[in-house]
Structure 1
Amino acid sequence: MKLLATTARFVTTVGMTVALVSSAACGSDSDAVTDPVVDLTKLDLGAYQGKPADLGLPKNMYVARFMEANRLGDVLPLPHEVDPNLTVGEASETHAFLDVGKEFHLGPIFRWLHEENFNSSVRNYVGGFATSASSNEAYTLSYELVSSALLFSDPESARVAAGELSKADFYGDVPVEPTALEKYPDSVARWQPAKQLLTTWTANDKYVIITNVINHENAELGVSDPKFLTDLAAKSIAATTDSLRNFKPTPVDQLMKTPVDPDNVRSLALRRPTGDSFINIPGTFDLHGAMQFAPNPKILEKAYRDNGVDRVAFDAGELVRAKDSAAAQKIFEERSAANRLMRKVESPKGLPNAVCLNYKGPDTKIRYYCHVRYGRYAAVVFSQQLLDAQQRISAQYSILANSK
């Protein structure tokens, strides 16, 4: 078994959204779909487990904090809800993050800010979640918004942290100037005119909201438009503060007592093996939260909503729970359809109802994707090796079948 060592970008980034465009307007038949008869003993699972996991309670406080940070993703606004032009998502930039350390992936704010003093600046920090999107797939024609919400145990800790975090040095040997947001006079705002980059720090109740706005196109053209940056930052802060009113933080002393899988969905998802990327932390999201990771959430959200998707688990792959088997079958059929970039290849031995595709596009990080449906669940896994992808989807099917 060869483990996936490259960045695990979820399958939504390689054409699933396009495939689902047609289904978005079709809805789902109410008739049940019969599951085929599969002899589980004949499936090749490799070294993967084929039974549901008992995730129980968090094993340590880091796991508990990551769970809480992931929950923020369910309430934070999607970038296109802040600015309708921000439709190009990037899964690797959207994720939960904790402290700075070799065991954790950095939040996307550290693309522009030094991280050396982060840990000493965030007393009573629980966890954060970052969202990200740009206005164009072409970097030099785009502007970008990265919004990060950091949760603290109490408002005073958040207030102090906002001030300390705002002292971070910027990367790049270009001047950094102070500025201000008219609508948020208490926010700290600094920008780099040469890069057309604005960063703001805003304390709000138990949260620190860090907003990065960068206009790559203007920087490329040598155009300076600070008002554009401050207006977009203000809109993002407003949308984020409104959404956080709907979030109920778990008391810190209850984090270790909160079940890892309260929805009994992630226990049905194939576990991510050591060697795969953990930039996107495993977790379960509602429909809104799952759209944080989609490259075109407007299209995908409608397709999922039409098919009654209420939970999506991300672990070794993506497991979608639809309203019924017919809805899950529609999602499976649409996103496993072959096209110019996704060529159909051999299905796993003993699992002819699975579909495997070979990606032939320019992004070669992941080559093989395998899909299957069982009951009201539609699943996809991915790997650089076909046999590994086949073993993963066989294991995923076995987990679902053994959950009965």
Structure 2
Amino acid sequence: MPRPASGFRTLPCAAAALVVLASMTSGCGAQTVEGRGVPGMTPVDVASIAVGPFPSAPVDYEPKLETKSDVFAIESRRLFGYLIAPYEVDREMAALDTTRIVAAPGSAFSDSLGVLPAQFEPIAERHRLIAGVVTVRSNQQLRAMRNLSIALLRFPSDEAARTAATEFDRTLGELIPNRHALAIPGHPDAVASTANDQKGYLFATRGPMVVMAMTTVPQPDPNALVTQLRTMLDLQLERLTRFVPTPVDQILDLPANPDGIMRLALPPLPVSGDDTARRVQPAGIYDVAGQLHFEPRAAELQAVLASAGVDVVARNDATVYRTRDLDSAFRLQRALTEPREDEQPVDSPPGIADAQCLQRDMDTFDQYYEYVCVLVHGRYVAVVGADGLPGGLFDPSLYQRAAAQYSILARGA
């Protein structure tokens, strides 16, 4: 049966009397009361919902800490909270292409001539890269492309950062000959360049941090490149004034699981041949500013997360947001599941009436799941995703994941 988009549920007369302060009227007769109506959770028989092979109770979170890169990734996750987003520079560049941790060695360095070509990796290793993050967004207009890639890399010292930035720029010159300089007003130490006045590159330093960017405009226009790069750098350097690097020997002392919230996020199966956690990772805790870099609708969702009082987000095989209260949780759910032109509602998982699920039309830009279900339990909102099976078939494991995630929240929140 279709349910109201607001999250309200129809209650029997007897039950309505118990929640009169949360309702304006009941079916037993019209009665006006003061107050504001809020949604309530539909009861779920947790013992009967089908979780398949997935855990149905909170699981102790044990982060992988086997290598130096595993430890440095803790600082990288924290660094996301200080990285600006392309849509802050230009609201048109709101479509998420990718957001990743940068490590050396690591897969974030690729052969493409983006902001992190493969030739940069030896430089990062040589100068002992500690932490790094990168985000890329665009307007998804192939005929009038605007995109912006921004990376923050933390090195052991100011000198190491300056030397690395110089070598990055020198290597870029070998990859892209015939570049000419772009002067960035207000930033005489920034090194910016372009070869065709349509794609621009920038390197700048602030203490032990290297700021790297690449931006593209629809037509050759050096002034437009300068404007984009200057705006980006103004915002990013201001944001970095609030960043205090964690001493390397204290990174393991950073909170890894405040209030046990990582126990509430569905973990991936220990042995699995699928790719279910690929796009939800990197696992760990995030503040709102960090989580926004992973949100496809971040520009729209920023105010919603703030109004919902989200104070921490746990990412594992599912993403769990902690909001202010139940009312806030339902408002966040509605924002996360409001269908767009490329989306359509699908049935809720059996036995979980409050869940809202969507199917998305996939395109060449998209790195996110074809199907998502968004659950509410108490002050928590959880997002679980899955891709379709070959031939366009629905993957029933999505409902099992959703049931398992709901059960974890019900038993642990």
TM-score scaled by length of structure 2: 0.77
Q: Is the Cα contact below 8 Å between 2:100 and 2:108 reproduced in 1?
A: no
Q: Is the Cα contact below 8 Å between 2:329 and 2:378 reproduced in 1?
A: yes
Deviation at residue 389 of structure 1 after TM alignment? 0.7
State the partner residue of 2:205: 203
Deviation at residue 173 of structure 1 after TM alignment? 7.4
State the partner residue of 2:15: none
Give the 3 Å change call, closer, same or farther, for CA 50–119 of structure 1 in structure 2.
Answer: farther
Helix, strand or coil: the match of 1:111?
coil
**Structure of greater relative contact order (alpha carbons < 8 Å, 6+ residues apart):** 1
Q: Is the Cα contact below 8 Å between 2:93 and 2:147 reproduced in 1?
A: no
* Count of residues in Structure 1 that have an aligned counterpart in Structure 2: 366
Give the 3 Å change call, closer, same or farther, for CA 105–44 of structure 1 in structure 2.
Answer: farther
> Partner amino acid for 1:255?
I
> Partner amino acid for 1:53?
V
Q: Is the Cα contact below 8 Å between 2:109 and 2:117 reproduced in 1?
A: no
* CA offset digits 1:226-282 (Å, max 9, x no partner): 122123212211211110111122110122333422353333111245523636522
Report whether the alignment pairs 1:72 with 2:74: no
Helix, strand or coil: the match of 1:200?
strand
Helix, strand or coil: the match of 1:160?
helix
Q: Is the Cα contact below 8 Å between 1:356 and 1:390 reproduced in 2?
A: no
Q: Is the Cα contact below 8 Å between 2:256 and 2:285 reproduced in 1?
A: no
CA distance in 1, matches of 2:251, 2:158: 18
> Partner amino acid for 2:155?
F
Q: Pick the aligned partner of 2:401 from 375, 380, 392.
A: 392
1:209-228 residue pairs with structure 2 within 5 A? 209-215=211-217, 217-218=218-219, 224-228=220-224
1:157-236 residue pairs with structure 2 within 5 A? 157-169=160-172, 175-193=178-196, 196-215=198-217, 217-218=218-219, 224-236=220-232
Q: Is the Cα contact below 8 Å between 1:58 and 1:259 reproduced in 2?
A: no
> Partner amino acid for 1:395?
A
State the partner residue of 2:135: 131
Helix, strand or coil: the match of 2:353?
coil
State the partner residue of 2:18: none
State the partner residue of 1:12: none
CA distance in 2, matches of 1:323, 1:31: 16
> Partner amino acid for 1:198?
G
CA distance in 2, matches of 1:285, 1:382: 19
Give the 3 Å change call, closer, same or farther, for CA 277–37 of structure 1 in structure 2.
Answer: closer
Q: Is the Cα contact below 8 Å between 2:86 and 2:94 reproduced in 1?
A: no
Structure 2, unaligned runs of 5 or more: 7-34, 388-393
Give the 3 Å change call, closer, same or farther, for CA 162–340 of structure 1 in structure 2.
Answer: closer
> Partner amino acid for 1:98?
A
Give the 3 Å change call, closer, same or farther, for CA 368–117 of structure 1 in structure 2.
Answer: closer
CA distance in 1, matches of 2:112, 2:104: 13
The structure with more radius of gyration: 2
> Partner amino acid for 1:69?
S
CA distance in 2, matches of 1:400, 1:232: 43
Q: Is the Cα contact below 8 Å between 1:312 and 1:318 reproduced in 2?
A: yes
Q: Is the Cα contact below 8 Å between 1:52 and 1:400 reproduced in 2?
A: yes
Helix, strand or coil: the match of 1:199?
strand
Report whether the alignment pairs 1:380 with 2:383: yes
Helix, strand or coil: the match of 1:99?
coil
CA distance in 2, matches of 1:117, 1:368: 36
> Partner amino acid for 2:214?
N
Deviation at residue 191 of structure 1 after TM alignment? 1.7
Q: Is the Cα contact below 8 Å between 2:151 and 2:213 reproduced in 1?
A: yes
Q: Is the Cα contact below 8 Å between 1:89 and 1:295 reproduced in 2?
A: yes
CA distance in 2, matches of 1:330, 1:112: 37
Deviation at residue 55 of structure 1 after TM alignment? 2.4
Give the 3 Å change call, closer, same or farther, for CA 229–395 of structure 1 in structure 2.
Answer: same
> Partner amino acid for 1:78?
A
State the partner residue of 1:25: none
Give the 3 Å change call, closer, same or farther, for CA 58–360 of structure 1 in structure 2.
Answer: closer
1:30-45 residue pairs with structure 2 within 5 A? 34-45=40-51
Give the 3 Å change call, closer, same or farther, for CA 74–186 of structure 1 in structure 2.
Answer: same
Deviation at residue 70 of structure 1 after TM alignment? 1.7
Q: Is the Cα contact below 8 Å between 1:32 and 1:324 reproduced in 2?
A: no
Q: Pick the aligned partner of 1:245 from 237, 241, 244.
A: 241
> Partner amino acid for 2:248?
V
Deviation at residue 110 of structure 1 after TM alignment? 5.2
More divergent stretch after superposition (287-296 vs 357-366): 357-366
CA distance in 1, matches of 2:152, 2:228: 16
Deviation at residue 393 of structure 1 after TM alignment? 0.7
1:111-130 residue pairs with structure 2 within 5 A? 111=114, 114-122=117-125, 123-130=127-134
Give the 3 Å change call, closer, same or farther, for CA 55–125 of structure 1 in structure 2.
Answer: same
Report whether the alignment pairs 1:261 with 2:243: no
State the partner residue of 2:298: 297
Give the 3 Å change call, closer, same or farther, for CA 341–79 of structure 1 in structure 2.
Answer: closer
State the partner residue of 2:57: 51
TM-score scaled by length of structure 1: 0.79
Q: Pick the aligned partner of 2:69 from 62, 74, 89.
A: 62
CA distance in 2, matches of 1:308, 1:357: 24
Report whether the alignment pairs 1:99 with 2:109: no
Percent identity of equivalent pairs: 25
CA distance in 2, matches of 1:43, 1:330: 25
More divergent stretch after superposition (112-121 vs 165-174): 165-174
